[in-house]
Amino acid sequence: MSLEPTLPTLAADLAAGRTSSRALVQSCLDRIEDPSGEGRTTFLHVDKNAALAQADAMDLLRSSGAAPSPYAGIPISIKDLFDIAGQVTRAGSTVLATRPAASRDAPSVARLRRAGFVLIGRTNMSEFAFSGLGLNPHYGTPRNPWQRDQGHIPGGSSSGAAISVADAMAHGALGTDTGGSCRIPAAFTGLVGFKPTAQRVPRDGAIPLSTSLDSIGPLARSVACCAILDAVLAAEPAPDLGESSVSGLRFAVAKTFVLEGLETEVAAHFERSLSRLSAAGAHIEAIEIPELAEIPNINAKGGFASAESYTWHRRLIESNAAAYDPRVLTRIQRGATQDAADYIELLAARKTLISAVEKRVARFDGLLMPTTPIIPPRIAALQDDAEFFRTNALALRNPAVINLLDGCAISIPDHCEGEPPTGLMLCARGGQDRQLLRDAAAAASVVSGR
């Protein structure tokens, strides 16, 4: 399932003169400025004049045969976690609102800019990226396109990133993923979200949540779009996805942990996807991975995210704790209860987990699971703290497995028109990103029924 237009179709239109960068950017700006839309809560900053100037520059370069890439002039959004030269990086907070503007682009932003992508604006997010739901009490929460009048969550933490693409306010988005922050909002909004192996994309210039788990990845309308953006971010050639097929691929389905408590719609869509993949020639085997059941114990004291975020935030908390979202502050402060021995034990437990799981899945091309066990709940249902934390833990449960395993994973839509949005997650060992993208491209066409 993909929504038009994709980056390849836009590049073809630009090359053929059927559109221009200015037209694309203006269309996105019009959507952002539409008072009946979600632009106000999706973007924390839009520099209209700079975006139009970038568009005009790309149109001029293309007319001279000097466009830096086929995608030059296509507008994309940037999560508010990344430095953009001359802009303040707030990370969806008010705590950092008075910090100095960045002096240079983050490397990931610079690579997108060098490829000619137009930076349309900075997107809203869960404060400091510490939630999988996407709620932001400071700047508002953009509503999911699904049953928008009922106010369902967008997923997080890259909430604005997802809505910017789903609502055609951008044609791709730069996000981060520490426990599912690209994949959860993608699954909840009918998009594709990719979490690369963490070391593939430099993380400098992005405010960290967990230096052990953070990854930088794209959200977009198709696997091909994500492959293009990932190649730019990783400074690699884009993989050829054209001849991909699921026939003969071997996928494992973990019976342990990740299939517990699935909502009815998620379970039905997952089984349908498995059936379609099997019918297309994929070999699917359900296996036990008992080590996954140990993950809650490994993270019992808050895990890497609490320990490492507390290290970054503790001085800010000492001076301005009242400015934090209390739900975020609670999770960060759990890091204060961990000592050096706890952290060393955490490192050892992760190493043991990775080794054990890799042995169990070594004979497979990948691992399949529902991206989240739930469909997007209504914002109004999460006013109670206990329900918020319960739902947040569920949303993060499956995707966070892959961050802890230092792997790569992609969420593709596996719902049909009119159904609640859900995602199928394809996962692979660290370093197998390009093969995973090829497999996902093949799987997406099968799962969508096309």
Q: Which candidate, 447, 385, 374, places its Cα nearest to that of 410? A: 447
Q: Which candidate, 245, 174, 231, places its Cα nearest to that of 444? A: 245
How far apart CA 188 and CA 184 sit, in angstroms, is 6
Amino acid identity for residue 357 in this structure: V
- Answer yes or no: are the C-beta atoms of 433 and 200 closer than 8 Å: yes
Catalytic residue ranges: 79, 157, 181
- Answer yes or no: are the C-beta atoms of 109 and 82 closer than 8 Å: yes
Amino acid identity for residue 46 in this structure: V
| Residue 430: partners with Cβ closer than 8 Å, 6 or more residues away | 197, 198, 199, 405, 406, 407, 408
User: Any long-range contacts for 51-57 (C-beta under 8 Å, 24+ apart)?
Assistant: 51/25, 51/75, 51/118, 51/119, 51/120, 51/121, 52/22, 52/25, 52/26, 54/21, 54/25, 54/118, 54/119, 55/20, 55/21, 55/22, 55/24, 55/25, 55/26, 55/118, 56/21, 56/22
The tokens for 105 are 């682009």
- DSSP letters of 261-287? T--HHHHHHHHHHHHHHHHTT-EEEEE
Considering only the C-alpha atoms of the chain, give the largest distance between any 2 of them, rounded to a whole number of Å. 62
> ω into residue 157 within 30 of 0, thus cis?
yes
Q: Which residue, chain included where needed, has tokens 């038009």?
A: 4
Q: How many angstroms from the chain centroid is the CA of residue 285?
A: 27
CB-facing half-sphere around the CA of 282: CA atoms within 13 A: 29
3-class secondary-structure state, position 352: helix
> ω into residue 373 within 30 of 0, thus cis?
no
Q: How many CB atoms lie within 10 A of CB 342?
A: 14
Angle at alpha carbon of residue 295, lines to 290 and 299, rounded to 5°:
165
